[in-house]
Structure 1
Amino acid sequence: MRRTRHPAMSQRKIIHVDMDAFYASVEQRDRPGLRGRPVVVGGDPNGRGVVAAASYEARRHGIHSAMPAWRAARLCPDAVFLRPRFDVYRSISAQIQALFREYTPLVEPLSLDEAYLDVSDCPRRGGSATLIAREIRARIHEQTGLTASAGVSCNKFLAKIASDLDKPDGLHVIPPEQAEAFVAALPVGKIHGVGQATRQRMERMGVRTGADLRRLTLLELQRAFGSRARFYYELARGRDERPVRPRRERKSVGAETTFGEDLNNPAEMLERMAPLADKVAASLHRRGLAGRTVTLKVKYHDFRQITRSLSGRPVQSADEIRARLPALLQDTEAGDRPVRLLGVTVSGLVTVTPDQARQLALF
């Protein structure tokens, strides 16, 4: 059965803007001597840090974000390693976001360096999303000295894929009439929401492209992927009705740390997590939030990562968060296996008043 769509949905004009190697490009802009050189922004290559961003010169050596910094140094011994300057990145991001809002109030930031814009009702440039995207990219470069790539299409799924096709400093358009053909040739791993495990499962089913995915009935998808089936069914046909949401609801607040040396003592791990609980609690308090679920993230020495969660009444204070950590840690192999990273996250967020927060702490 074909889903009936609201006529306005088929007329949407969505732009996805993605800054090119944002952190590294800012550093090359501010330090002209680094231009044309492989630049890696992140942790110490002699320690346990990871890569936050890599310039395109560094990427040619196989370096990418989330890679251990020591490995990046081995891939490119001549790379320049820099610590992040998040205050600078946030300031530039705010400047770019303000520029976006000159065109439309429907701006959905995904991170400091990318955002969706719904320009369906924007009168600028005769209402042409392509010309608007071209103008935005030119103004970003004029105002910041940085380049951005953009994708233009009729929905978020296609616009995001398009923005990656002509990087860096590119603009790619996927017209609505080409949506189905474009997705048909797309590897399933490029489809939104298809991670590595799902991709491998699809490939075992003989599904390697969007065309293969489209051949499956909704019932077959439901049997294999449950609640995600409808989403995959629509994307395989080039359809994505997710709106651009100007205010993205925060789903969690967390903090984590990577240790200079692996930890083997659970008591020391709990001690090291105390500042993380303090940081999360301060963030919750600042936002007037509490959360029902506390999640512990553990990354072992071999980079295997697991999470453990406990849910109950909403918590906000550091003491309440710390009180749940021993049981969570006990449910892992920490102590039996060396640990390189620990993280604490609070989710299931609810808004609380100061009086309610005091009551939570009391009871």
Structure 2
Amino acid sequence: MEMCPHAVVIRPNMEKYKFVSQQIRAIFYDATFVIQPVSLDEAYLDFSNKVRTKNETDYAGTPAAGLADIARRIESQLGITVSIGLSYNKFLAKLASDLEKPRGFSIIGRAEAQAFLAPLSVSKINGVGKVTAQKLFGMGIRTIGQLQKMREIELVSSFGKFGRQLASYAHGHDNRKVIENRPAKSISAETTFSFDKRRSVDLIEAIKPLCERVSKRLIQGNYAGSTIVLKMKTSDFKVLIRNRQLLNPTQKKEIIYENAVNLIEREANGRHFRLIGVGVSDICSANAADPPNLFGTLG
């Protein structure tokens, strides 16, 4: 904002995004019982015969027909276009979904998978970022076809455990299953400041709505957490993570806030911060949350 003071910043409407995402997932559930959300706008669907829904909307046809009908319903009911990738595993389905954006539908079959992959850059493989890609380029490997010619033991010697995954993906193999409602490892919320903050009072004020959001998500998911996590990013982009263990798991915004405040007071020593976040980890069922005080409530 300092470099572009006249810019118009439109705040994202996360509640609206979440609401529409839930509407889309409701359409998914008409077709299959097994859905693994990746983000608000991305998910894996298991379309194998054993889990697909057979109902009046007739999703019992081919997976391609069922997915086409899902795309049609989302566009007609919500006014949103989607891109779809269909294949026999998650790696190839994700790859296919990126081929024809926006409003695309691509299929990679088992018979042609290796031939399709061969001319593609190694950077198309899940987990191959800039560092790994540069290492592969340095080895003279630029295409997936070149990876296909390498033995797994060679890749493992160069890339450790990830070498096995590279070998599998190069040949179109991926044994990961579509997992419905994977348990959360942590729940958090954060905010980036328009201007850096250094006073503890300002930092403490900034976490109030964050604690409320975390508490709300815990309650909605029927979760609780027993470790409070504070995340702070300094003006020179150093990330600080601080934790505090609770005696009992909690869902309460007051308890999250109180412990986060104590952590902030230890760290606010004049440094400038550009981001702050609050979360809980060690997630468990809400059944264990906030046991009553045997001596009553004070205050």
Give yes or no for contact 2:34–2:179 (8 Å, CA) kept in 1: yes
Change (3 A) 1:315 1:98: closer
Partners of 1:177 and 1:216 in 2: CA distance: 21
- Give the structure 2 partner of residue 104 of structure 1: 32
- Pairwise CA distance, 1:341: 0.9
How far did 1:276 drift? 3.0
Question: Paired residue for 1:156, among 67, 79, 90?
Answer: 90
Is structure 2 residue 17 aligned with structure 1 residue 89? yes
The one-letter amino acid of 1:323's match is N
Hey, what does 1:323 align to over in structure 2? 259
Distance 1:170 1:139 in 2: 15
Query: Are residues 1:280 and 2:214 paired?
Result: yes
Which one-letter code corresponds to 2:14 in the other structure? F
Stretch deviating more after TM superposition (81-90 or 251-260): 81-90
Which residue number corresponds to residue 290 of structure 2? 357
Secondary structure at 1:147 match in 2? coil
The one of 239, 244, 247 equivalent to 1:306 is 239
Alignment partners' CA distance in 2, 1:213 and 1:330: 50
What TM-score comes out, normalization by structure 1 length?
0.64
Deviations 1:187-244 (A, max 9, x none): 2332223344444444444443323444554444444444444333321221112222
Deviation of 1:154 after TM superposition, in Å, equals 1.0
Matched residue of 2:45: which SS?
Answer: strand
**Given the superposition, is the C-alpha separation of residues 227 and 298 from structure 1 closer, same or farther in structure 2, using an over 3 Å criterion?**
farther
Q: Distance in 2 between matches of 1:219 and 1:104?
A: 38
Q: Cα offset for 1:254?
A: 0.3
Q: Hey, what's the Cα distance between the residues in 2 that align with 1:213 and 1:335?
A: 51
Q: Which residue is equivalent to 1:233? A: 167
Rounded Cα–Cα distance in structure 1 between residues aligned with 2:135 and 2:240: 22
Question: Is the counterpart of residue 248 in structure 1 residue 176 in structure 2?
Answer: no
Higher mean alpha-carbon deviation, 164-173 vs 262-271, is at: 262-271
Conserved? CA contact 1:295–1:307, under 8 Å: no
Q: Aligned match of 1:347 in 281, 290, 296?
A: 281
CA distance in 1, matches of 2:151, 2:293: 49
Counterpart residue type for residue 166 of structure 1: E
Question: Alignment partner for residue 272 of structure 2, among 338, 342, 349?
Answer: 338
Structure 2 unaligned blocks of 5 or more: none
Whether the 8 Å contact between 1:151 and 1:159 is mirrored in structure 2 is yes
**Cα 1:91–1:312 shift into 2, 3 Å:** closer
Q: Tell whether the 8 Å contact from 1:296 to 1:329 is kept in structure 2 after alignment.
A: no
In the alignment, structure 1 residue 257 sits paired with structure 2 residue 191: yes
Aligned equivalents of 2:70 and 2:110: distance in 1? Answer: 22
One-letter identity of the residue aligned with 2:239: I
Q: Match of 1:291, as an amino acid?
A: G
CA distance in structure 2 between the partners assigned to 1:82 and 1:312 by the alignment: 37
Superposition TM-score, scaled by structure 2 size: 0.76
Contact 1:320 1:361 in 2 (8 A): no
SS in structure 2 at match of 1:357 = coil
CA contact 2:242–2:263 (8 Å) conserved in 1: no
Could you tell me how far apart the structure 2 residues matched to 1:195 and 1:342 are?
27
Instruction: Spell out the pairing of 1:74-223 with structure 2 (5 A cutoff).
Output: 82-121=10-49, 122=52, 124=58, 127-223=61-157
Contact 1:296 1:325 in 2 (8 A): no
The whole-number CA distance in structure 2 between the counterparts of 1:109 and 1:90 is: 12
Q: 8 Å contact 2:204–2:264 — kept in the other structure?
A: no
Task: Give secondary structure in 2 for the equivalent of 1:143.
Answer: helix
Contact 1:187-1:210 within 8 A present in 2 as well:
yes
What is the RMSD computed on CA atoms of the aligned residues? 3.7
> In structure 2, what is the equivalent of residue 76 of structure 1?
none
SS of 1:255's equivalent in the other structure is strand
Q: Quick one: distance in 2 between partners of 1:204 and 1:295?
A: 40
Asked whether the equivalents of residues 157 and 192 of structure 1 are also in contact (C-alpha less than 8 Å), the reply is: yes
Alpha carbons 1:274, 1:322 under 8 Å: kept: no
Structure 1 pair 349/220, CA: closer, same or farther in 2 (3 Å)? farther
Q: Secondary structure at the match of 1:345?
A: strand
Alignment of 1:10-49 (within 5 A): 46=1
